[in-house]
Structure formats: C-alpha cells, structure tokens
Amino acid sequence: MRYLRKLLMLNAIGVVIATGVLMNCNLLYGQSNRSIKPNGSETRQANAGSNLTWTKWISVTYPSGGEHWQAGTRHNITWTSQNIDGNVIIEYWLNNVNYRIVSTSNNNVNGVYEWNIPFNQTPSNLYNIKISSANDTSICARNYNCFTISLPTGPVEEAENNPPLVFKLSQNYPNPITSGTYIEYTLPKNTTVSLNIYDINGELVRNLMTGNQELGFHKVYWDGQDNNGQKVSNGTYFYRMEAGSFKVTQKLTMLG
C-alpha cells in the first residue's frame, strides 16, 4: 500500500510537469502550502488544505526570454502580484547561482524596477530573473526563459527618443574607472560633434566620436584604450565635447 501511494505521487508529478499546470511543492520540498509552475514564471502560495486555491502569487512579466541587453545600459524588470505586502527581492540567476539586484517596494499590482546593468557584468546568454516576497521568500517567481547580457567591444553609442532642450555633457559612470566607462551627452538639434579623451598634458588619447549626429540623448562607451588599441595607464584624464559653439570638458580617473 505504501509503495502504491508513492507510485501514485510520482505519476502525479509527471502528469503535472508534462501538462504545464501548477505542481505541488509539498511533493518536492516538504512545504504544505506552496505550489510552483515549472514551465513558466509563476510560483504561488495556496491555502493550506485547499484544492489549490491561490491567494498569493508573483509573476515575472519582463524580461520574458530572448532579450539581448548590454552591460552599462538600463532596462525595466516588471512583474505582477497579488496579496504580496511589503518589498520584493529581485535577483538575477546565472549558471544556477543567484545574485541579488535590489530589494524594492511592491505596489501589489504591477511592479517595475529600472536595472542599471553594471558595465563589467559577466557576459552570458543564460541569465534569468527571480522575484520573491521579502516577507516570505518562498512566494516567488522565476522566469526560466533566458536572456543575454553582452559587453561592448569598443565605443558604442545609444540614442533615446525624447529630444532634450539643451546641450549637456554628463559625468562619466562609473568613475573612477577600472576597465571601461560610459559618457552621456544631449543634443537639442542636429549638429557636428567631437568627443575626445586627453591625458593630463593635453595630448590626444582617444577619439570617441567625430561626425554629424541627430538631436537626442547619446551615450558612448570608452574601453580604456588609446587610439592604438593599448590600455592606458592609471591617472587623471579629461574628456572634451565640442558641438558647434558648445564646448565643455570633464575629468575622469583611471584606476585599472
């Protein structure tokens, strides 16, 4: 009889996995009121002793899998939830190891967090996101559909859509630099732009941008190399932007 009950339990697990419906975690983890959806993004809590009547749950809605993101860029992580009080914990998983991104507030309906991906993020196509209730981490959601994070191999420019009102050259980030950094600037009109790196003696180290650009928000990556492809030495450097009559210089520090 004991053998028969065990066989029936194993068969039930196999049927649930095969059909993609919610699987009772009590069979796997010894928890009496947790259930998980193995082929999707949801993990939900059921009423103990009920017939899987869900009262608390979280579901990751973005990234949904297949996205290609770049280190140093910003992307929204979104989720939906029900009856989750307090904060949620957002983690990324890589090679089945979890790394916390942030603990952030949850509005109990549609959550969103803008993740500024570190510039030195490990490149891989095996990333996925997990979101848990800070009050009860067993109530969680993990999307097993992977997305990709890659590193820039040289100067990379990005532009956004909302046109700015003024010329602006922002402080680079990160600063100090260990291997590479991003420089953002805005153009209120189409114009010719030059962006260069100079050493403390005023000698040109690297030309990052020269040419006509459209109005908008722009971002350039400097990989810490000079125009000959050689890694620069530690010390103080300056980056200078010229766009028509707009000319401005900012300082940065290399500690790589």
Which residues are CB-contacts of 55 (< 8 A; sequence separation ≥ 6)? 45, 46, 47, 82, 83
pTM of the complete model:
0.47
Domain ranges (residues) in the chain: 15-150, 158-254
> In the numeric block, which tokens belong to residue 173?
């980030």
Fold of 158-254: Immunoglobulin-like (2.60.40)
Would you say the CATH fold of 158-254 matches that of 15-150?
yes
pLDDT of residue 154: 53
Find, among 68, 251, 225, 252, the residue nearest to 154 by Cα. 225
So what CATH class is 15-150? mainly beta
pLDDT of residue 23: 28
Spans in the chain with pLDDT lower than 50? 1-53, 157-161
pLDDT of residue 37: 36
Which residues are CB-contacts of 4 (< 8 A; sequence separation ≥ 6)? none
- Alpha-carbon span 80 to 44, nearest angstrom: 12
Find, among 42, 128, 66, 63, the residue nearest to 92 by Cα. 128
pLDDT of residue 180: 86
Are the C-beta atoms of 234 and 255 separated by less than 8 Å? yes
Q: Which helix (H) or strand (E) holds 115?
A: strand 110-116
